[in-house]
């Protein structure tokens, strides 16, 4: 059976603020710079998920893109689009960095039943992107 990789891109717009309760105000400003602005700022995020699976001999597809889009709409876009990331449950104890966002998005797409999640790639700006392919979550990412 032929294994193939499928990547799909999704877009959402959200605000956030990088801030750790474990640091003093001064240390937060030193570590996070302008991203520590108390009122937040925002981005157009692009999420690229890569899935793998055997190519169905009848459909010629790894998985139904419509099913993947419906899953992404319900579990990714409805949750994150036009939101302040810091208000979401997953960032109550974690800095809303795009590294941590990648890990959360990986957790979401791991549950997509029709194909195996290989990698999550998130572009925060045209110059910054982050990848997470599962595996150990570094303890320092937690606060």
Partner 1 sequence: MIFLTRKAEFSSAHFYWNDQWSQRENERVFGKCANRNGHGHNYTLEVTVLGEVNATSGFVVDLKELKDILEREVVSVYDHRHLNLEVPEFKTAIPTTENIAIAIWKRLEGKIPGAKLYRVRVYEMPDLFADFYGEL
Contact between 121 and partner 1 per CB under 8 A: no
Contact between 87 and partner 1 per CB under 8 A: yes
From 41, 74, 82, 110, active-site residue:
82
Contact between 82 and partner 1 per CB under 8 A: yes
CA terminus-to-terminus distance, the chain: 44
Q: Can 82 be counted among the known catalytic residues?
A: yes
**Count of positions on this chain that bind partner 1 (CB under 8 A):** 21
Contact between 90 and partner 1 per CB under 8 A: no
Contact between 14 and partner 1 per CB under 8 A: yes
Q: Can 63 be counted among the known catalytic residues?
A: no
The encoded tokens of residue 137 equal 């979550």
Least distance to partner 1, CB of residue 127, Å: 9
Q: Give the footprint of partner 1 on this chain (CB under 8 A).
A: 11, 13-16, 34-35, 37, 39-44, 81-84, 87, 125-126
Instruction: Report the catalytic residues.
Output: 35, 82, 124
């Amino acid at each position: 059976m032929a294994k193939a990789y499928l990547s799909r891109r999704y877009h959402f717009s959200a605000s956030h603020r990088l801030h750790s309760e474990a640091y003093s105000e001064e240390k937060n400003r030193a570590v996070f710079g302008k991203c520590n602005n108390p009122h937040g700022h925002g981005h157009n995020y692009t999420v690229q998920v890569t899935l793998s699976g055997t190519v169905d001999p009848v459909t010629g597809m790894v998985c139904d893109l419509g099913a993947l889009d419906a899953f992404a709409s319900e579990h990714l876009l409805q949750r994150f689009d036009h939101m302040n990331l810091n208000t979401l449950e997953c960032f109550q104890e974690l800095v809303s960095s795009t590294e941590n966002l990648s890990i959360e998005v990986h957790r979401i797409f791991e549950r997509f039943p029709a194909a195996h999640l290989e990698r999550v790639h998130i572009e925060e700006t045209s110059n910054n992107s982050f990848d997470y392919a599962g595996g150990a979550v570094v303890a320092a990412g937690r606060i």
